[in-house]
Amino acid sequence: MINTRSSLIKKYLYIVVLAIFALFIGPWLSTASAATGSSSPRVILNGRELDFEVPPIIENSRTLVPLRGIFEAMGANVDWNAASRVVTASKGAIAVILPVDSSTAIVNGNPCILDVPPRIVSGRTLAPLRFVGEAFGGRVTWDGKTKTVYISNASVDKPAAVKVNANQVNLRNGPSTLTAVVGRAGFGEIFEVLEEQDGWYRVSRGSETAWLAGWLVVAGPPAGTPEPEPQPQERIVVLDAGHGGFDPGASGNTLKEKDVNLKITQGVGELLAQKGVTVVYTRSDDRYVSLEERSSIANRLNASIFVSIHNNAGDLPSASGTETYFYAPASNLDLFAQREARAKLAKAIQTELVSMLLRKDRGVKEANLSVLRNTLMPSALVEVVFISNPMEEALLQNNDFINRAALGIANGIMAFMNDID
């Protein structure tokens, strides 16, 4: 997010208010509500009191409010993904992603640290008041005397300018992906905004105008303004453990592909997280997630990279080795524009994985696979080894081998990311 001075002042004021609140009002309130069990704060949005099935709570001087009720009252669309335990909400050009029990939310692809993680109370997601109130551009004030939260989002202005927040973005002649591509823009390019419609921005470039998808840009400084100090680009890697739930994938004599995939995927995620990469899993336990949902998770997050992790099976038990897939056909211009990056990602993973596992190098291949076709960012699908090969199945039962597989894939992802810096 861009740290303008006014937002810094706002943040500072907020901290002061919060500190006063915590010191004087917070403890009294929590005691009061604990004693009576019924005095939860009221929430007034644009002058109208909101009603909740699960009321707001105050905990350790933090107010947690029902997210869906408030977001919907503000006019946002809210979605809950039970598999990944992630709330997504969007309104106009703003897209919010909020994993439950995590203190990082993502607003238009940018991580945002929360005071306390959102959590589920009686089947409803409660999230910190300030975040919920401000995510879609509202202002939050607190009246301690009446224990009332006031949120106002009456005037959400379009930004004066936006900055491209993805590697390659199409400029179109209308506010929809169904309209013709009239040009392309690269990461960091800044455009003056002329109007907003359905989450798209009409922008000017030279003497022409074109439409840009709101989820691929962030509010930026007006063109011509000197850049503040360069901020490192935030990287979100979506890791996809193949299969799960009623879909076991391939099977060996004793192992199921879905279990092996999950182990390796979690290993990759831990290694990337140690390097400061933000990792999101399409599944983190044994459950079914549809192929469409897997790519949608990455697209909604505006992730930098998507990697799907599988193990192979062949008709002959002797089939063995490692292979990695990408997809970028000339018939799909959006994918074709990423051809070099997609091939490079697959190649980096294949090279590092083969050098780590020393199994047969079956090479990088191209195939029209759902998760590769439907992801908007560079993506690859790796088949670590053959679970149908008794010798490789035995290797997959060995923790050291699993760890080396995870390290190989993580090294490949890091090599790719360092290369595109």
Residues found near Zn ion in the complex (CB under 5 A): 242, 249, 310
DSSP bridge pairs for 119 = 126
Q: Please report how many Cα atoms fall inside a 13 Å half-sphere around the Cα of residue 177, on the Cβ side.
A: 8
Clarify whether 292 is annotated catalytic: no
Whole-angstrom CA distances from 103 to 80, 98, 165, 166, 326 are 17, 9, 22, 24, 33
Taking a C-beta distance cutoff of 8 angstroms, is the pair 418, 275 a contact?
Answer: no
Nearer to Zn ion by C-beta: 202 or 310?
310
Backbone phi and psi for residue 15, each to the nearest 5 degrees, phi listed first: -65, -40
Structure tokens at 158: 């379009």
As a whole number of angstroms, the distance between CA 144 and CA 389 comes to 67
Q: Catalytic residue, from 134, 189, 323, 383: name it.
A: 383
Q: Are 266 and 402 in contact (CB under 8 A)?
A: no
To 10 degrees, the CA torsion angle through 382, 386, 387, 392? -120
In the bound state with Zn ion, the residue whose beta carbon lies nearer, of 309 and 376, is 309
3-class SS of residue 392: helix
Q: Which amino acid is at 312?
A: N
Q: Which is nearer to Zn ion, 68 or 310 (CB)?
A: 310
* Least Cβ distance, residue 354 to Zn ion (angstroms): 19
Q: Which residue is nearest to Zn ion, using beta carbons?
A: 310
CA distance 244 to 240: 11
Instruction: Using DSSP, state whether 211 is helix, strand or coil.
Output: strand
Q: From residue 316, how far is each of 176, 319, 339, 388 by CA, in Å?
A: 47, 6, 32, 8
Catalytic residues: 383
